[in-house]
Amino acid sequence: MNRAIFRCTTEDCKNEVNCLLSHWTIEEPTKCDVCGSSHSFQIIHNDCHFTDKQVLKLQETPELIPEGETPQNVAIVVYDDLVNQVRPGDRIHVTGVYRASPVQPMRNWRMQSSKYRTFVDAIALEFGKAQRVESVLSDPTAILQADGQVPKLEDKCDLDPKKFSEEDIGWHTKIREMAAEKDAAGNPTIVGKLVQSFAPSIFEEDEVKKGLLCQLFGGTCLPNGTAHSRPEIHSLLCGDPSTAKSQLL
């Protein structure tokens, strides 16, 4: 609300006063200049003027999060033409003013506590190079064979230069070499290495890490002819308090 209309409730007056927003507050008039009544004004919501407002939750990018820690969040408040300009998953640069607002213990109380809620009052939004986290292939079913079956590892579809760049093929080759490594007993070591690299600061949670790794890698989108199936799975992690569930997620 940036402009409020107050109307005097005196039966023979009905005087209306236009009050503008000043320093993020709208002061209610205490005395009517026409009839002289005190504290007789009532706000008329249908005649007030409002502007669009949206609160965004900005989270630091995954590559900047220290190992074993949860990402930091900050609230971004946007107005007018900046509303509905971003979607979940977009990478943006925000230009704004960092503000602190006191917290009201109760909505109807004028008293404010000593706690402050911080946010960024956005002035401009700039999109990064990667606006949305997408898969390498625009079509999730493009990796399927002509008969609709998932290709096998020995088919080497991930090394096809028609679908992947030289850099991607280099990474795929390195992953294949790591997957082929075995220990003295002849067992593959790739799963153990992935578990050890997943939140290394948290110990004795190997089975939980394996389940979250399955969600991290996802699967292959299989068409069933009637609906679209998700290649990713949902995970519900339950456990006792203080067992590093938030850090693992």
Question: What per-residue confidence (pLDDT) applies to 98?
Answer: 92
Question: Using CA atoms, how far apart are residues 149 and 222, in angstroms rounded to an integer?
Answer: 8
Nearest to 137 by CA among 154, 122, 119, 151: 151
Query: Residues 6 or more apart from 181 whose CB is under 8 A from it?
Result: 188, 189, 190
Question: Using CA atoms, how far apart are residues 103 and 112, in angstroms rounded to an integer?
Answer: 6
Nearest to 237 by CA among 247, 223, 227: 247
Tokens, residue 218? 């996802």
Question: What per-residue confidence (pLDDT) applies to 77?
Answer: 92
Question: What per-residue confidence (pLDDT) applies to 105?
Answer: 64
Question: Using CA atoms, how far apart are residues 198 and 214, in angstroms rounded to an integer?
Answer: 12
Tokens, residue 134? 């997408």
For 46, 143, 161, 239, the CA distances from 149, given in Å and listed in that order, are 60, 9, 21, 38
Question: What per-residue confidence (pLDDT) applies to 134?
Answer: 44
Describe the chain by its helix, strand, coil percentages, rounded to 5: 20, 25, 55
Intervals of CATH 2.20.28 along the chain: 3-47
Which CATH number is associated with domain 3-47? 2.20.28
Nearest to 193 by CA among 206, 211, 208: 206
User: What is the sign of the dihedral through the CA atoms of 149, 151, 154 and 160?
Assistant: positive
The tens place of each residue's pLDDT in the chain, 249 residues long, gives 888 999 988 888 888 888 888 777 888 888 888 888 888 888 888 888 888 889 999 988 877 777 667 788 999 999 988 898 888 888 889 999 999 887 776 666 666 667 888 999 999 998 875 544 444 444 544 555 556 566 666 667 778 788 778 888 888 888 888 878 887 888 888 888 888 888 888 888 888 888 888 877 766 666 665 555 666 677 788 888 888 888 887
Question: What per-residue confidence (pLDDT) applies to 234?
Answer: 75
Question: What per-residue confidence (pLDDT) applies to 236?
Answer: 82
Intervals of CATH 2.40.50.140 along the chain: 53-127
Q: Are 119 and 99 in contact (CB under 8 A)?
A: yes
Question: What per-residue confidence (pLDDT) applies to 227?
Answer: 54
Tokens, residue 7? 């109307």
Q: 64 has which bridge partners?
A: none
Q: 58 has which bridge partners?
A: 74
CA-derived radius of gyration, the chain = 29
Question: Using CA atoms, how far apart are residues 235 and 191, in angstroms rounded to an integer?
Answer: 19
pTM of whole model > 0.75?
A: no
3-state class (DSSP) for residue 128: coil
Which CATH number is associated with domain 53-127? 2.40.50.140
